[in-house]
Amino acid sequence: MIKLSNGMILAIALIAIVAIGSGIIVIQTPWFETPSPAPSPGPTPGGSVDVTKPLKIVGVDELAGGNLDGTTSAIKIYDSDGKTLLETLSFSSGSCTSSASYSSGKTLWILYYYDTTIDAYHYWQITVPQMSPADAQSLTSNTVTVKTREAGAYTDSLITSSGLTITDATYLNTTGSSNGTGTMTYTFYTTSDNTGYSSFHDPIYNIDLKMIVWATISGTGYSSISLTGFDGAFEKGSTMYYYKVISDNDISKYKVGNDYIYPGSGSISFAWNAVGFSNSTTSVPTLYLYLKIYSNANYMQQFGSYGPYAFTGSSAYMYFADTS
């Protein structure tokens, strides 16, 4: 208990009387009970910190696991605009380290390219990460992990709704009303476990590169034949183009234990109409089907190319023939 002297009690009483007499009520903590200021918060334990260090880029195959394949100039680092090349690096055991240092929070684009046995590409937009205080002190580089899919070969089949398997260079008879229309299914298969490709955005061309099944009809009388069941179509020159975007998983084969998460096959079904076609000459319309990896429909329509990195995974072709 705090004991007050008679003088201290008199002083407090006088302050109260003066305040009340003036019409002002003051509630004040006496000087002897003034609390100590709260301590300022310290750093959060385990919090991340900004760093400026070289980047260690680790490439992982998201289906097969392990390292992405690599060759000379397999990795390129671009500035935040996606067009200004900053560095070209080489993989070694699935990783590479930049020569330049990059600060936490900076946006970069990373391009992976591998073309020895497979045409694998991928762009990633990344933000340079922070590091833990311990790592920031002990490590000389800041690690970024990127993942994509790498594939091998594909096979395919083309079958009509009546069960007829169409092999390359088959002549499909369109004579008569019963043969003037029909449907087909184009199926594609990945031949190896844990392979596939993944779509991405290309910042240089500013386009999305996807997996697309293309159908083209060209040759004498091509304009008399039409297809339905695709996402879109356009005519360019003397060829009609049809396209359908498919899922990355449709061309991926992913096995975990004894179970297939992605079975490694996909298909599209479409209808054809040749009622208006009549041609008994040896020059007949040709239908081509392509599974194009890294493709873009607008790019094809504008520039006449399926895409800057596009290649054919599988293909089939046949002829429409009026044999009357």
Tens of pLDDT, residues 44-100: 455 899 999 999 999 999 999 999 988 777 899 999 999 999 999 998 889 999 999
Residues 154-321, CATH architecture: Sandwich (2.60)
pLDDT at 281: 59
pLDDT at 178: 66
Q: Which two tokens stand for residue 31?
A: 């000087």
pLDDT at 225: 92
pLDDT at 15: 43
Q: Say whether 154-321 and 52-148 share the same fold.
A: yes
pLDDT at 321: 83
At residue 12, what are phi and psi to the nearest 5 degrees? -65, -40
d(CA 138, CA 228): 61
Q: Which two tokens stand for residue 63?
A: 């289906």
Cβ 144 vs Cβ 55: under 8 Å: yes
**In three state form, how does the secondary structure of 108-167 look?**
EEEEEEECCCCCEEEEEEEECCCECHHHHHHCCCEEEEEEECCCCCEEEEEEECCCCECC
pLDDT at 276: 81
pLDDT at 174: 82
Q: Which two tokens stand for residue 38?
A: 């709260």
What are the residue ranges spanned by the domains of the chain?
Answer: 52-148, 154-321
- 52-148: which CATH topology? Immunoglobulin-like (2.60.40)
- Distances in whole angstroms, Cα of residue 270 to Cα of each of 77, 185, 289, 305, 314: 42, 7, 11, 23, 17
Global pTM reads: 0.82
pLDDT at 158: 97
Q: Give the SS3 label for residue 27.
A: coil
Tens of pLDDT, residues 177-235: 667 899 999 999 999 999 999 999 999 999 999 999 999 999 988 999 999 999 999 99
